[in-house]
Amino acid sequence: MAEQKENAFLETEKLTKLMKKYAVPCVISLLVAALYNIVDQIFIANATYLGSFGNAANTVIFPLTVVALAIAVMIGDGCCAFVSIALGANRKEDAKKSVGNAVTLSVLAGIVLTAIYFIFMDPIIVAFGGNVNEETFNLSKEYFTWIAAGVPFYMFGQAMNPVIRSDGSPRFAMASTLAGAVINIILDPIFIFVFKWGMMGAALATILGQILTAVLAIRYLCHTKSVKTDRASFRLSGSIMKRFLPLGICSFLSQISLVAAMAAINNMIRKYGARDPIFGLTEYAQIPMAVVGIVMKFFQIVISIVVGMAAGCIPIVGYNIGAGRYDRAKKLFTYLLIAEACVGAVALLIVEFFPNGLIGIFGARNESVYYTEFAVKAFRVYLCMLIPACVNKATFIYLQALGKAFLSTALSMIREIIFGVGFAIFLPVFFGLDGVLYSMPASDILTFIISVISIIWTYHSLGKMQEKKR
């Protein structure tokens, strides 16, 4: 009699029901994770003693938290995809070793990155445009000092989130992240407005939330369901890491290339803002960076939904591919693309028709008319191609779930490095500060053309594999 496979319901249960079960908690987890930085910026922006200077400082440091996230999701998403495929093929030992290695690797990576941040703090801040003026630099350094101290907890919690999902507990993954964010939301106003701890207060609230999420992840790892680890599982194995890390390389590159794009954008804002008749003045120099920062925060919310929906499907796709159910994998792709396009359409309506409401959340009432005017234009121009942007991201992650790590990585690199960085540097030469805003839609529409080709190829490949199986 054949041994019963773990998580066999992934092969038989209705796909829409599975999407709801896995994607919704994943979306909420990523949204909550995104809220750490976003909530900080909202409270910072509404503190009159910080204002747009604090906003700009938050924008400078944001890419550096993404670096930590990039490493964490490479480990976590790679492990998640590998565990799902291994369980689908009934290779429980491989799944166990993968989880143990992911735990050890995330801890070591967090410690190393923190050390790097503390050693090279000043040049890192300058590299991301923090020297736009003295006040922004000082606030950036204050915020970064504390955020860097919390990096190991942040990385561990984020790496374990997809691992917990792959073990069949998406709701716990969601709850652990949500608990940390709630702590952050509660403590931010207390530390910023009551104690007046400024950037340090915002960062400290974030760290305490991240510690809670990490502690809950540790608790879960002691009581896993499908994958039971032992002491030997946590011993790093080159052969195991070589098998699961490539499956997370797309997640890494999609985040780390975003950092490269943000570095280029921040520096182009600093360079071409200095040539602007208004933003070239010292008292307004931080406004473009602060504004683009809040636009990116809204985009991060949208992308968290998009990535959450796609990443939530990774265990479903991986299991069905491992089990040879290519027909279900193909149908799931269709459902995912439709859902992602709808998310993009709703987000587009919001940015085009309600930009004033969005900037009001980030303290516009405390700022000059120049801040408001530039913010409205930034929202409407920078995010005008949200629908293709959402479809692009979903395509990259789905290919990763299929085990097509190279193709997924190549597409992500084209979008973020070739187009994202390239246009951010090239277009301002002709359009000045507005060229920075044009770089996003230009990158997304060109990437979408490539994504359509990839989508057609994926449908054809899955169809051929299903016919071959028959």
Question: How high is the pLDDT of residue 470?
Answer: 65
Mean pLDDT of 131-151: 94
- C-alpha span between 62 and 106 (Å, rounded): 20
Q: Which of 164, 130, 153, 165 lies closest to 55, judged by CA?
A: 130
Whether the Cβ atoms of residue 148 and residue 199 lie closer than 8 Å to each other:
no
Q: Is the pLDDT of residue 235 over 90?
A: yes
For residue 212, tell me if it sits in a domain: yes
Place of tokens 């691992």: 163
CA 31 to CA 301: how far, in whole Å?
6
| Separation CA 423–CA 419 (nearest Å) | 6
Within a domain: 371: yes
Q: What is the DSSP string of 317-379?
A: HHHHHHTT-HHHHHHHHHHHHHHHHHHHHHHHHHHHH-HHHHHHHTTGGGS-HHHHHHHHHHH
Q: CA gyration radius for the chain?
A: 22
Measured CA angle at 49 (ends 46, 53), to 5 deg: 80
25 in a domain, yes or no?
A: yes
pLDDT in tens, 64-84: 998 999 999 899 989 988 887
Tokens 């608990």 locate to 179
Within a domain: 328: yes
pTM of this structure? 0.78
pLDDT at 272: 93
Give tens-digit pLDDT for 343-388.
999 999 999 999 999 888 877 677 888 999 999 999 999 999 999 9
The Cα diameter of the chain in Å comes to 78
- Give domain status of residue 2, yes or no: no
Residue 417 structural domain: 14-469
DSSP 6: T
Q: Is the predicted pLDDT of residue 3 greater than 60, yes or no? A: no
The answer to whether residues 313 and 332 touch, using CB atoms and an 8 Å cutoff, is yes
Does some domain include residue 9? no
Residue 68 lies in a domain: yes
Per-residue pLDDT tens over the stretch 254-302: 678 778 888 899 999 999 999 999 999 888 899 999 899 889 889 988 9
* Measured distance CA(301)–CA(306) in Å, rounded: 9
pLDDT at 408: 82
CB environment 331-344: b (16+ within 10 A), e (fewer): ebbebbbebbbebb
Q: Considering the domain boundaries, does residue 213 fall inside one?
A: yes
Our count of domains for the chain comes to 1
- Here the tokens at position 188 are 């931010």
Give residue 5's pLDDT band: very low, low, confident or very high (50, 70, 90). low
Question: Average pLDDT of 141-160?
Answer: 96
Structure letter (DSSP) for residue 275: T
